[in-house]
Amino acid sequence: MPYYEQAADALAAATSVAVIGHVRPDADAIGSVCATVGALRQLGKEAVGLIGQADPFAANLLTIPGAEEVQLADHLPDVDLIVTVDCGSIDRAGTLAGAIAARAEDTVVIDHHSSNSGFGRVNLLDFDAESTTIVLGRLFEIMGITLDPPIAHALYAGLLTDTGSFRWGSPAMHTFAAELMSTGLDVRGIAVDLLDSGSVADLRMIGRALASVEVHEAGEHRVALIIADHALVQTGSLPAVEGLVDFVRSLDGTTLGAVFKETVPGVWHVSLRSNDIDVSRIAVALGGGGHVPAAGFTFRGTAAETTEALLGELRRQ
């Protein structure tokens, strides 16, 4: 077991804890923050959830119990323990990265990203786990945490979304889902909140993005690429923009899919997906990280320069 006991001991010894999820959070990040804060409070500890960015995160994540309390922050409160959840590398803590680096000895890292090399004193890294919330489920069992409905909801949110709605993963993900559901979760409602709801404006944005898909060749690879520039990104909600990549995951005749999202003019968040190749290697080479089938990186430049960077790396690998 990869450092579960050590992480449980570190959390048990703390009296006040800052729990930090990654920037541009998804449901696994916010679900992990909320579940961890809830578990720590159950043990009578002071706990606060933080995201190191100034911009609000996707509104649909506010359906996760406790998410409305998660603070956007650029400094750490006065706490004796720092816990990062779902942060594959320290830079994913955003504006809190420097403060965490300065207190690595007081930091517990809990994550499932295979590119995570561990940046805390205790690094609970379980690369077989489908979501960080699965890692937390195992940890909470050791810690004797009761899975009450809010904690179960938060854990389920990460499990549902990081498994692509249970499309990939081990038998354990279903066992864990069953355990969480037994607390009385409205799983249909959670799926609507996190995955199915959307606006007409989102649908139009998706339509324009999909109409622009192009296939590029690079060495032995063929990549399906969607470029969503700043003007287009601004017409859709964050979850709709983040969902674009699901359309190019496994198109016929391609080895991978990519979506370039220009969230700030000249700054591109690139999402990579593949069922055939290890996209985390490509993302790491370009300064990012992630998992074998799903990874990402950030690139500064024009769309053409970002394309050339990706195709160049694909030719090399």
Residues that bind Mn ion (CB under 5 A): 28, 86, 132, 162
294 binds ligand 5GP (CB under 6 A): yes
Question: Two tokens at 51?
Answer: 């995201």
Among ligand 5GP, Mn ion, none, the one that 295 touches (CB under a kind-dependent 5 to 8 A) is ligand 5GP
Q: How many CA atoms lie within 13 A of 189 on its CB side?
A: 7
What x/- string results for residues 76 through 115 when contact with ligand 5GP is judged by CB under 6 A? Answer: ------------xx--x--------------------x--
Q: Does 271 bind ligand 5GP (CB under 6 A)?
A: yes
Map residues 190-229 to x or -, x wherever contact with ligand 5GP holds by CB under 6 A: ----------------------------------------
Residue 306 beta carbon to ligand 5GP: minimum distance, rounded to whole angstroms: 13
- Residue 86 to residue 26: CA distance in whole angstroms: 9
CA distance 235 to 253: 30
* CA nearest neighbour of 176 among 35, 59, 50, 6: 35
Cα(124)–Cα(203) distance, rounded to whole angstroms? 39
120 binds, among Mn ion, ligand 5GP, none (CB under 5 to 8 A by kind): none
Sequence-separated (6 or more) residues with CB below 8 Å from residue 156: 31, 133, 177, 180, 181, 185, 187, 190
Binding flag, residue 297, ligand 5GP (CB under 6 A): yes
Distance CA 23, CA 37 (A): 17
155-184 positions binding ligand 5GP, by CB under 6 A: none
Size of the site for ligand 5GP (CB under 6 A): 16
DSSP string, 193-209: IIII---HHHHHHHHHH
* CA gap 35, 155 in Å, rounded: 6
Does residue 261 belong to the site contacting ligand 5GP (CB under 6 A)? no
CB within 8 Å of 257: residues ≥ 6 apart: 223, 224, 225, 226, 245, 247, 248, 249, 250, 251, 272, 273, 274
Minimum CB distance to ligand 5GP smaller for 64 or for 93: 93
Interaction between residue 131 and ligand 5GP (CB under 6 A): no
Q: Binding partner of residue 268 among ligand 5GP, Mn ion, none, CB under 5 to 8 Å per kind?
A: none
Q: Which position among 161, 190, 296, 314 is part of the footprint of ligand 5GP (CB under 6 A)?
A: 296
If binding is defined by CB under 6 A, does position 288 make contact with ligand 5GP? yes
296 contact choice in Mn ion, ligand 5GP, none (CB below 5 to 8 Å, kind-dependent): ligand 5GP
Phi, psi of 48, rounded to the nearest 5 degrees: -135, 140
Q: Could you list the residues that contact ligand 5GP (CB under 6 A)?
A: 22, 88-89, 92, 113, 245, 271, 288-291, 294-298
